[in-house]
């Protein structure tokens, strides 16, 4: 690497200018606006006697005026039209509402960022239709029974197009993989509530925060020293994807180490493939060996990459397993920001240096750090405080998430997976798979992850904290 390739911070580069134009900051602005409007709508629609009802610890249903305008395709059995018109036009209205909200917001962002807003508006309907098609495929009753989620179908839809007829260039302005998923991650932050995470407290932290960095570092060293993978960024993205929490961690880490889009696509493709296998095989294995729900749930939460897949696999085992699995995974999700920051520091101080020992400017760590992670953390902290401190907070926050932001997040992730598929051409990925090293790296790393997570989960949930866990989860 030459001296010019160290990418020192240019004099004109500033956080203020980045906040006006950079994708990461706009993910925060868009996600923050959606959260603000959604919570504001729930707050305005709250019952007058909310405080009294909340204090009495009664279950109530909060009116969310946005919920009727935000929706996604529903389930169907024989006729796919049922996914969008089974109970009348309301479902179509909700899907159109999601289209208008996301398309309008991202078009405004493109205009302010001096991007091609008009070209985005021309291309976005096609990308949205592909995402809707993926949702319809995933909501068929038999498909749902096998837990084949929308992410897999969205990826496949995009892959079929890109590897057959090729992705039409007119769609490129709306293929915004990282922008979609970064905004979705900001919305996810509102769902990662600290108060909820602390219910299972220390045992979950040990499983998620001790095993994960060990697996990440070990896998990276194994790839560099043993497999001798030529691209350190590919090695790191695969390691983070497999050890932390799949696609979300891969996106954040790829930004921190400046991985190529082809490398990110490869890591995500392997992650989704292994996720589908694990979410089907692991619950069956846990049942076959007679493992109890609590231990099984903790194992699932610490190993399966996608949060949705963790919930689906946990639900197969039972309610106790679902709660434990989801909590461990949410605790692990907090490491997205920590991992990205750690990778940024390591990359600018150790990887990007020339033989003379010169290193990038220290400020490069800040500029390299994925800023959208700040939005994720801020949303988690703010809504954790609202959840725990505000009268009726749990009901209000749950109504906001269940009635609007979770659905919007789902659309954003689905759009991102379609975009990944449209950008992924197997002929271009072939050089990265040469010799099968990336696949070997993922398989070996995931094997280590499975073994260490099971050992730590057993120690924490069935030995050290067994009495407290059994008291909380009778």
- Given this model, what pLDDT does residue 319 score? 74
pLDDT of 313 above 90: no
Where do the domains of the chain lie?
A: 16-472
Residues facing 76 on adjacent strands: 140
Average pLDDT taken over every residue of the chain: 82
Q: Using CB atoms within 10 A of its CB, is residue 86 exposed (0-12), middle (13-18) or buried (19+)? A: middle
Least Cα distance to 457 among 300, 285, 323, 255 occurs for 300
61 pLDDT tier (thresholds 50, 70, 90): low
219 pLDDT tier (thresholds 50, 70, 90): very high
Least Cα distance to 306 among 375, 220, 231, 242 occurs for 242
Least Cα distance to 423 among 157, 209, 220 occurs for 157
- Highest mean pLDDT of the ranges 77-81, 102-106, 200-204: 102-106
pLDDT of 201 above 60: yes
The C-alpha atoms of residue 371 and residue 170 are separated, in whole angstroms, by 29
pLDDT of 11 above 60: no
Q: For 63-72, 276-285, 305-314, 376-385, which range has the lowest pLDDT when averaged over its residues?
A: 305-314
58 pLDDT tier (thresholds 50, 70, 90): very low
Least Cα distance to 438 among 277, 263, 254 occurs for 263
172 pLDDT tier (thresholds 50, 70, 90): very high
pLDDT of 466 above 60: yes
Least Cα distance to 322 among 219, 431, 200 occurs for 200
105 pLDDT tier (thresholds 50, 70, 90): very high
Angular region, 313: left φ>0, alpha ψ -120 to 50, beta rest: alpha
For 474, other C-beta atoms within 10 Å of its C-beta total: 6
- DSSP letters spanning 288-330: HHT--HHHHHHHHHHH-S-HHHHHHHHHHH-HHHHHHHHHHHH
- Given this model, what pLDDT does residue 432 score? 60
- Given this model, what pLDDT does residue 455 score? 95
pLDDT of 276 above 80: no
- Highest mean pLDDT of the ranges 192-196, 327-331, 458-462: 458-462
pLDDT of 44 above 50: yes
If one compares 282 and 333, the residue with the highest pLDDT of the two is: 282
pLDDT of 320 above 50: yes
In the three-class reduction of DSSP (H, G, I as helix; E, B as strand; rest coil), residue 441 is classed as: helix
Average pLDDT of span 336-344: 82
Q: Tell me if the pTM is above 0.85.
A: no
- Given this model, what pLDDT does residue 395 score? 83
The C-alpha atoms of residue 106 and residue 385 are separated, in whole angstroms, by 29
Q: Using CB atoms within 10 A of its CB, is residue 225 exposed (0-12), middle (13-18) or buried (19+)? A: exposed
417 pLDDT tier (thresholds 50, 70, 90): confident
| CA-angle at 239, arms to 235 and 410, nearest 5° | 115
Q: For 8-12, 152-156, 374-378, which range has the lowest pLDDT when averaged over its residues?
A: 8-12
pLDDT of 376 above 70: yes
Tell me what percent of the residues of the chain surpass a pLDDT of 90.
Answer: 27
The C-alpha atoms of residue 260 and residue 265 are separated, in whole angstroms, by 9
pLDDT of 197 above 70: no
Tokens (6 digits) for 242: 């497999």
């Amino acid at each position: 690497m030459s001296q010019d390739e160290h990418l020192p911070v240019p004099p004109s580069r500033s956080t203020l200018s980045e906040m006006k134009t950079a994708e990461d900051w706009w993910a925060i602005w868009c996600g923050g606006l959606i959260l603000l409007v959604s919570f504001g709508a729930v707050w305005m629609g709250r019952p007058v006697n909310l405080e009294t009802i909340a204090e009495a610890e009664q279950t109530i249903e909060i009116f969310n005026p946005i919920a009727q305008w935000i929706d996604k395709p529903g389930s169907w059995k024989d006729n796919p039209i049922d996914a969008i018109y089974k109970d009348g036009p309301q479902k179509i209205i909700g899907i159109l509402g999601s289209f208008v909200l996301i398309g309008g917001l991202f078009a405004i962002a493109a205009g302010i960022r001096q991007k091609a807003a008009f070209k985005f508006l021309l291309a976005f309907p096609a990308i949205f239709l592909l995402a809707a098609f993926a949702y319809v495929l995933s909501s068929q009753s038999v498909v749902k029974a096998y837990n084949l989620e929308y992410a897999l179908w969205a990826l496949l839809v995009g892959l079929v197009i890109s590897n057959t007829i090729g992705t039409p260039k007119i769609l490129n302005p709306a293929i915004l993989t990282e922008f979609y998923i970064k905004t979705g991650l900001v919305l996810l932050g509102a769902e990662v509530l600290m108060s909820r995470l602390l219910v299972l407290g220390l045992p979950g932290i040990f499983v998620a925060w001790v095993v994960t960095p060990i697996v990440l570092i070990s896998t990276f060293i194994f790839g560099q020293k043993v497999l001798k993978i030529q691209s350190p960024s590919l090695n790191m993205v695969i390691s983070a994807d497999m050890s932390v929490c799949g696609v979300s961690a891969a996106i954040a880490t790829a930004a921190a180490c400046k991985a190529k889009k082809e490398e990110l696509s490869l890591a995500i493709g392997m992650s989704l493939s292994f996720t589908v296998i694990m979410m089907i095989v692991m619950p069956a294995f846990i049942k076959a060996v007679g493992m109890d729900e609590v231990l099984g749930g903790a194992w699932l939460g610490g190993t399966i990459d996608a949060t949705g897949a963790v919930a689906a696999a946990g639900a197969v085992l039972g309610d106790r397993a679902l709660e434990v699995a989801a909590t461990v995974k949410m605790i692990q999700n907090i490491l997205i920001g920590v991992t990205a920051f750690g990778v940024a520091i390591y990359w600018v101080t150790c990887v990007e240096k020339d033989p003379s020992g010169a290193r990038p400017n220290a400020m490069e760590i800040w500029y390299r750090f994925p800023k959208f992670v700040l939005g994720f953390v801020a949303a988690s902290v703010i809504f954790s405080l609202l959840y725990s401190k505000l009268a009726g907070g749990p009901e209000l926050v749950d109504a906001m998430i269940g009635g609007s932001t979770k659905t919007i997040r789902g659309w954003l992730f689905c759009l991102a997976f379609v975009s990944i598929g449209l950008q992924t051409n197997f002929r271009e990925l072939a050089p990265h798979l040469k010799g099968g090293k990336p696949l070997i790296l993922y398989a070996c790393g995931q094997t280590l992850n499975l073994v260490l997570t099971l050992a730590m989960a057993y120690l924490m949930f069935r030995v050290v904290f067994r009495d407290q866990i059994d008291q909380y989860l009778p």
